[in-house]
Amino acid sequence: MKKGNMQNKMRVYHRYLGFFLAGIMAVYALSGVLMIFRNTDFLKKDKIEETTLEVGTKAEELGAKLRIKNFKIEKEEGAIVYFNGGNYNKESGLATYTKKELPYVLKKMTEMHKATSDRPMFFLNIFFGVSLLFFVLSAFWMFLPKTTIFKKGLYFATAGLVLALLVIFI
């Protein structure tokens, strides 16, 4: 295959894959920024949850059973256990608590971003990751290696790699 022909093919693949992935990249970019604030209440709304647990569940086990991070018992009065954001009735097994959640669409976007191999969305994550790797590699076919812009591009690519490594290891 001629060098110019390979360069043109890479440009075409890069261009159309870029157009195809533009929407996906926007979703991943937004959900990635939102995930930075996942340990805060930024954009989250209160949602009242009611769950019935086994009658007589020990107060110390409530946090794990309800999946509440930073669970802390505030007080116990008779059969009622009060904890941060809710209460539990030992006699009826009813737990009522407030949960903070992102609005539906934002929640779904962040779930897509965090998909693991046990979820169907992980195929999209693999496809997206491989596509980004293709973008990285195909970018080097955009300009002839002897040109000034290609050489400057190598400096910028090296600077970006060094910055990423510094952020990771420092």
Question: For the residues 114-127, what does the mean pLDDT come to?
Answer: 88
Q: What is the pLDDT of residues 20-56, one digit of tens each?
A: 999 989 998 999 999 999 989 999 999 999 999 999 8
3-state class of 89 per DSSP? strand
One-letter amino acid for residue 138 of the chain: S
Residue 1 has pLDDT above 80, yes or no: no
Question: For the residues 71-95, what does the mean pLDDT come to?
Answer: 93
- What is the model's pTM? 0.70
| CA neighbor of 102 nearest in space, from 169, 31, 163, 157 | 31
- The DSSP 8-state label assigned to residue 71 in this structure reads -
Question: For the residues 102-122, what does the mean pLDDT come to?
Answer: 90
| CA neighbor of 54 nearest in space, from 37, 42, 66 | 66
- Start-end of H helices in 103-147: 104-113, 122-138
Cα within 13 Å of Cα(28), Cβ side: 16
